[in-house]
Chains A and B, each alone.
Chain A
Amino acid sequence: MITAFLLRALDRNILIAIAALLIVAALVPVLNLLVPPTSPFHIPTYIVSLMGKYLTYAMLALALDLVWGFCGILSLGHAAFFALGGYAMGMYLARQIGARGTYGNALLPDFMVFLNWKELPWYWTGFDHFWFAALMVLAVPGLLAFVFGWFAFRSRVTGVYLSIITQAMTYALLLAFFRNEMGFGGNNGLTDFKDILGFNIQAGGTRNALFAATAVALAFSLLVASGIVRSKFGKVLVGVRDAESRTRFLGYRVENIKLFTFTVSAMMAGVAGALYVPQVGIINPGEFAPANSIEVVIWTAVGGRGTLIGPIIGAVLVNFGKSVFTAAFPEFWLFALGGLFVAVTLFLPKGIVGTWRQMRARRRETARMTAASPQAAE
């Protein structure tokens, strides 16, 4: 059944995208590790990490697209799920530091020693094990999304109101994680990581492995998202997006459909966050900032919402642009980003991929028309 589900997920575009991702996952480490630095094909390690970061963003954008593009829920709090996944991974990495911290305390992370805490808080137990942290990466964002969605969708909070309370949620989490008493490192967050699964996190090999893992995870997410969208359930999902009341009147439980999608999307965002943290080496409450969540929306919008490949392209393009811009003309980046928001909503409402598909469809249509026109003229 699952194979059928996944097989149906593979249309030509998705197949190409997944193949491309898998090739990148294999090729980049080869170009980094095996090609000598003098060769023009060599990719420096920092670029590998940077690309890995872009791919985690792409995964976050894909997660958002699943709820926004296909279900019509504009979440302005998706960065919260991303950050929660990141924190779960960060806690595992912080436990791996052991006695190598500044204070050399094997039992407590540095910031707890600094705060004069005597023992590990209960919610840190278990994070010594990778499997537990990995479970939490899925469970914590998933649970939050489930509880939040349970209340919100059942009460039929929709549209702008839903967007605003998702924003309130991430804002509340931002404030909470800034507090030292929460036990997540306050405004410094968690950093100074040493090992992941026993491998040195700074080493080139680990970084390439992390990159490859991200690319594979993204490919898998794409497969799952495509599976959802192409199934019968996906058709109902689009129905909810376009005519919520009508779908309800036809007998579908709209709130359950939304809840399922929202939770899956949050878990996907959590995984993206968990892959993000070891590659950038830090997680702090700034990731919860409402502005971050809104930026994710623009990646998705630029690439094209309602298309699965669009958000990936959008996230990579916008973040690449951000890296270039902030290095070359730092003071103009906000102008560019702001202009992008305005321009995309005004002129490219379907995004790059959507517009391209539209144009191709129109060209095909005109081709068909011209082919048919001699007969029509007669």
Chain B
Amino acid sequence: MQAGVRGFQCTPASFKLVTSMTIRTAILTLCLLLQAAFAQAQTDLRSSVDALGQGKFADVEAAITVLAKTGDPKAVPVLEALAAGDLYTRKSDARVFMTRAAGDDVILIDPITGVEDATAPKASVQKIRVNNTVRRAVRTALGGLTLLSPERQTRLAAAQSVLMAPSGEVLDLVETALATEKDADVRRVMEEARAASLLKSDRSTDEKKQAIETIRQRGDRDALGILSSALGSVDETLRPDVERAIAGIEERQALWNAGQNVWYGISLGSVLLLAAIGLAVTFGVMGIINMAHGEMVMLGAYTTFVVQDVIRTRYPDMFEWSLAIALPLAFLFTAFIGLVIERGVIRFLYGRPLETLLATWGLSLILQQAVRSLFGPTNREVGNPTWMSGAFELGGLTITWNRLWIVVFSLSVFLALLAVLKRSSFGLQMRAVTQNRRMASSMGIRTPYVDAATFALGSGIAGMAGVALSQIDNVSPNLGQSYIIDSFMVVVFGGVGNLWGTLVGAFSLGILNKFLEPYAGAVLGKIFVLVLIILFIQKRPRGLFALKGRAVDA
């Protein structure tokens, strides 16, 4: 065992010795070689650059191609200067310079190193003239040259630009770049760029078949564009392959589109869920529709606005945390308002649900007008923290962060509420009152307390929903109005007294709405959903998940 270990230790040490020697030698050799090569390249480049200043446009074009072939990133600024018309020839020795004005004279700048050379009279230099053909040649050359740039971003951008505008000429360059590329992402794009360029070149049919396959695997709208343009240029034998590839991509696109619609539907559903869940609680327990529910959402959104306002003026570094701060504040504030409403108005109206509906409608008008008087009738700006802004791609789906967070948030609110209902004693009491108020009361549950707490809880949840909705909607006094009818629909569709009904209701209405939109348009889709709900209620007058038992007949 020990010997084995020693022997094992021995080998790497000697190996290290050998390798270190080899590496040193290698580096030394490489350095020498590089130095020579560098000097060589420098002179080569200089002469190629000087060639730009000679002859007619066709010669300039040829010189550009030579420059591009060197693959040297140093040629990039020279070509850029040429396209911009900043390149001049010194008449005396036909050397090419960039210039900078200095009084009557111009300062000559070496285009490769960027070092200022000498001052010369303006008359001694002549501008290199360019036309559109030359400009195009420069563009192609630049696309190819930047493929070899040491910057990853530049290479990626170059590969993408080749992919967007493929041509047979850059093919060699792309292949050169591909040979040395290490970064996996850049490599992938380069391979696609190679495939796209290959289709435009005169390579063999087999290679082209492979290229079609590579592009088909990319499978997005760009790939579709490349293949459709290739459809015109490739020869007869390849055409079926291209057509098959196009059909394949289109099929996949349709699938992704459906996926995107599902995502939009989930996103809409989560918004509906957030808006409706508090309503479901109060409706389920007390059997009243709280018309001021939308205004609670609105108050939550305005709480966010106030919190952000304070943060902006006093503690600007805390902005990222504004939503986390606003969330509990909105909950407490709206829960308090809810408590006041319940104690002040609603408790006098138990047993008269339709009149509660009227009274809460009146309250909603008052709250709207109060907010309008305090904050003005116009939209207030609520900012998105950085973690809520932007989007990312998932396969063919584009998902914005704020929508994703809202989905996560609404589901966590749902789960938290479910936990409260199923695990706490307050939840137990609430469920008891929902199922049979009088029996619960005889069992010693103080139903008025449960009512008050339920109403406060429902309002508080609405307030939290307001914080989330402030991120995707306009914060105005009318915010609540736009959600109230939809929330009713969700609650009525899902059924009363069952949170799962609300969840299923919200998501199915959301997804249905988004699936109808592409065919019927947004408005007609919504009308259709409304009619569907009206018809559905005929079939199941108490919603999808109705409470069973005698209590509901009361």
Nearest residue in A to B491 (C-beta to C-beta)?
A164
Task: Tell me, rounded to whole Å, the shortest Cβ–Cβ distance linking B121 to chain A.
Answer: 68
Cβ proximity bits B335-379 to A, threshold 8 Å, 1 near / 0 not: 000000000010011001111111101111110111011000000
Contact across chains for B527 and A176 when beta carbons are under 8 A apart: yes
Chain B residues with CB under 8 Å of A165's CB are 492, 533-534, 537
Nearest residue in B to A176 (C-beta to C-beta)?
B527
Say yes or no for A340: interface residue by CB 8 A criterion. yes
Q: Which of A154-162, A202-210, A360-368 binds B?
A: A154-162
Contact across chains for A172 and B537 when beta carbons are under 8 A apart: no
The distance in angstroms between the C-alpha atoms of A11 and B312, with both chains bound, is 69
Contact across chains for A290 and B485 when beta carbons are under 8 A apart: yes
Contact across chains for B361 and A341 when beta carbons are under 8 A apart: yes
Chain A residues with CB under 8 Å of B485's CB are 167-168, 171, 290
Say yes or no for A335: interface residue by CB 8 A criterion. yes
Contact across chains for A151 and B358 when beta carbons are under 8 A apart: no
Cβ proximity bits A322-360 to B, threshold 8 Å, 1 near / 0 not: 000000000110110111111011100100000000000
Chain A residues with CB under 8 Å of B356's CB are 345
The distance in angstroms between the C-alpha atoms of A168 and B537, with both chains bound, is 11
Chain A residues with CB under 8 Å of B283's CB are 160
Contact across chains for A345 and B534 when beta carbons are under 8 A apart: no
Contact across chains for A164 and B364 when beta carbons are under 8 A apart: no
Task: Tell me, rounded to whole Å, the shortest Cβ–Cβ distance linking A229 to chain B.
Answer: 20
Most buried by B among A159, A172, A339: A172
Contact across chains for A164 and B488 when beta carbons are under 8 A apart: yes
Known contacts A160-B287, A160-B353; is-contact A345 B358 (Cβ 8 Å): yes
Say yes or no for B12: interface residue by CB 8 A criterion. no
Known contacts A175-B523, A175-B527; is-contact A161 B362 (Cβ 8 Å): no
Task: Tell me, rounded to whole Å, the shortest Cβ–Cβ distance linking B552 to chain A.
Answer: 11
Which parts of B248-296 form the interface with A (CB within 8 Å)? Answer: 283, 287-289
Contact across chains for B359 and A346 when beta carbons are under 8 A apart: yes
Contact across chains for B541 and A155 when beta carbons are under 8 A apart: yes
B359, B492, B537: the one within 8 Å of A345 (CB): B359
Task: Tell me, rounded to whole Å, the shortest Cβ–Cβ distance linking A179 to chain B.
Answer: 6
Known contacts A168-B485, A334-B366; is-contact A156 B361 (Cβ 8 Å): no
Nearest residue in B to A152 (C-beta to C-beta)?
B538
The distance in angstroms between the C-alpha atoms of A261 and B387, with both chains bound, is 57
B354, B362, B489: the one within 8 Å of A163 (CB): B354
Contact across chains for A337 and B527 when beta carbons are under 8 A apart: no
Contact across chains for A294 and B361 when beta carbons are under 8 A apart: yes
The distance in angstroms between the C-alpha atoms of A291 and B482, with both chains bound, is 12
The distance in angstroms between the C-alpha atoms of A320 and B470, with both chains bound, is 38
Say yes or no for A301: interface residue by CB 8 A criterion. yes
Say yes or no for A74: interface residue by CB 8 A criterion. yes
Contact across chains for B365 and A341 when beta carbons are under 8 A apart: yes
Task: Tell me, rounded to whole Å, the shortest Cβ–Cβ distance linking B341 to chain A.
Answer: 10
Nearest residue in A to B485 (C-beta to C-beta)?
A171
Contact across chains for A342 and B362 when beta carbons are under 8 A apart: yes
Task: Tell me, rounded to whole Å, the shortest Cβ–Cβ distance linking A248 to chain B.
Answer: 13
Task: Tell me, rounded to whole Å, the shortest Cβ–Cβ distance linking B370 to chain A.
Answer: 8
The distance in angstroms between the C-alpha atoms of A301 and B361, with both chains bound, is 13
Known contacts A74-B354, A341-B359, A345-B358; is-contact A161 B542 (Cβ 8 Å): yes
Task: Tell me, rounded to whole Å, the shortest Cβ–Cβ distance linking B374 to chain A.
Answer: 11
Contact across chains for A157 and B538 when beta carbons are under 8 A apart: yes
Chain A residues with CB under 8 Å of B348's CB are 346
Chain B residues with CB under 8 Å of A148's CB are 534
Say yes or no for A193: interface residue by CB 8 A criterion. no
Say yes or no for B526: interface residue by CB 8 A criterion. yes
The distance in angstroms between the C-alpha atoms of A54 and B256, with both chains bound, is 56
Contact across chains for B363 and A338 when beta carbons are under 8 A apart: yes
Nearest residue in A to B553 (C-beta to C-beta)?
A245
Chain A residues with CB under 8 Å of B238's CB are none
Known contacts A179-B523, A297-B358, A338-B362; is-contact A160 B289 (Cβ 8 Å): yes
The distance in angstroms between the C-alpha atoms of A332 and B365, with both chains bound, is 11
The distance in angstroms between the C-alpha atoms of A275 and B438, with both chains bound, is 50
Chain B residues with CB under 8 Å of A172's CB are 526-527, 530-531, 534
Which parts of A152-194 form the interface with B (CB within 8 Å)? Answer: 152, 154-161, 163-165, 167-169, 171-172, 175-176, 178-179
The distance in angstroms between the C-alpha atoms of A172 and B524, with both chains bound, is 9
Say yes or no for A298: interface residue by CB 8 A criterion. yes
The distance in angstroms between the C-alpha atoms of A203 and B321, with both chains bound, is 65
Cβ proximity bits B451-489 to A, threshold 8 Å, 1 near / 0 not: 000000000000000000000000000000100010011
Contact across chains for B537 and A298 when beta carbons are under 8 A apart: no
Contact across chains for A345 and B366 when beta carbons are under 8 A apart: no
Contact across chains for A167 and B488 when beta carbons are under 8 A apart: yes
Chain A residues with CB under 8 Å of B368's CB are 334
Cβ proximity bits A274-307 to B, threshold 8 Å, 1 near / 0 not: 0000000000000000110010011001000000
The distance in angstroms between the C-alpha atoms of A21 and B542, with both chains bound, is 44
Say yes or no for B28: interface residue by CB 8 A criterion. no
Contact across chains for A341 and B362 when beta carbons are under 8 A apart: yes
Say yes or no for B203: interface residue by CB 8 A criterion. no
Contact across chains for A338 and B365 when beta carbons are under 8 A apart: yes
Task: Tell me, rounded to whole Å, the shortest Cβ–Cβ distance linking A144 to chain B.
Answer: 12
Contact across chains for B526 and A175 when beta carbons are under 8 A apart: yes
Which parts of B528-554 form the interface with A (CB within 8 Å)? Answer: 530-531, 533-535, 537-539, 541-542
Task: Tell me, rounded to whole Å, the shortest Cβ–Cβ distance linking A177 to chain B.
Answer: 10
Most buried by A among B289, B345, B488: B488
Contact across chains for A345 and B355 when beta carbons are under 8 A apart: yes
Contact across chains for A168 and B345 when beta carbons are under 8 A apart: no
The distance in angstroms between the C-alpha atoms of A41 and B505, with both chains bound, is 61
Chain B residues with CB under 8 Å of A349's CB are 352, 355
Contact across chains for B354 and A159 when beta carbons are under 8 A apart: yes
Chain A residues with CB under 8 Å of B537's CB are 152, 155, 157, 161, 165
Contact across chains for B524 and A179 when beta carbons are under 8 A apart: yes
Nearest residue in A to B524 (C-beta to C-beta)?
A179
Chain A residues with CB under 8 Å of B542's CB are 161
The distance in angstroms between the C-alpha atoms of A178 and B359, with both chains bound, is 29
Task: Tell me, rounded to whole Å, the shortest Cβ–Cβ distance linking B355 to chain A.
Answer: 5
The distance in angstroms between the C-alpha atoms of A33 and B370, with both chains bound, is 44
Chain A residues with CB under 8 Å of B373's CB are 331
Contact across chains for A334 and B287 when beta carbons are under 8 A apart: no
Which parts of B99-152 form the interface with A (CB within 8 Å)? Answer: none
Contact across chains for B358 and A301 when beta carbons are under 8 A apart: yes
Task: Tell me, rounded to whole Å, the shortest Cβ–Cβ distance linking A291 to chain B.
Answer: 8
Chain A residues with CB under 8 Å of B370's CB are 335
Known contacts A155-B539, A342-B363, A345-B359; is-contact A168 B527 (Cβ 8 Å): no
Chain A residues with CB under 8 Å of B523's CB are 175-176, 178-179
Chain A residues with CB under 8 Å of B366's CB are 334-335, 338-339, 342
The distance in angstroms between the C-alpha atoms of A152 and B352, with both chains bound, is 21
Chain B residues with CB under 8 Å of A169's CB are 530, 534
The distance in angstroms between the C-alpha atoms of A332 and B283, with both chains bound, is 30
Contact across chains for A156 and B359 when beta carbons are under 8 A apart: no
Task: Tell me, rounded to whole Å, the shortest Cβ–Cβ distance linking A155 to chain B.
Answer: 4
Chain B residues with CB under 8 Å of A332's CB are 369
Contact across chains for A337 and B541 when beta carbons are under 8 A apart: no
The distance in angstroms between the C-alpha atoms of A154 and B485, with both chains bound, is 24
The distance in angstroms between the C-alpha atoms of A340 and B368, with both chains bound, is 15
Nearest residue in A to B373 (C-beta to C-beta)?
A331
Chain A residues with CB under 8 Å of B354's CB are 74, 159-160, 163
Cβ proximity bits A68-85 to B, threshold 8 Å, 1 near / 0 not: 000000100000000000
Chain A residues with CB under 8 Å of B345's CB are 342, 346
Q: List 11 A-B contacts (CB under 8 A).
A: A155-B537, A160-B357, A161-B542, A163-B289, A176-B524, A294-B361, A298-B362, A331-B373, A339-B366, A341-B362, A341-B363
**Minimum-distance CB pairs A-B, first 4:** A341-B362, A338-B365, A338-B366, A334-B369
A residues contacting B by CB (< 8 A) are 74, 148, 151-152, 154-161, 163-165, 167-169, 171-172, 175-176, 178-179, 290-291, 294, 297-298, 301, 331-332, 334-335, 337-342, 344-346, 349
Extra inter-chain contacts (12) besides given A151-B534, A341-B365, A345-B362, CB under 8 Å: A151-B535, A160-B283, A160-B288, A161-B542, A164-B289, A167-B488, A168-B488, A172-B531, A290-B485, A301-B358, A335-B365, A338-B369
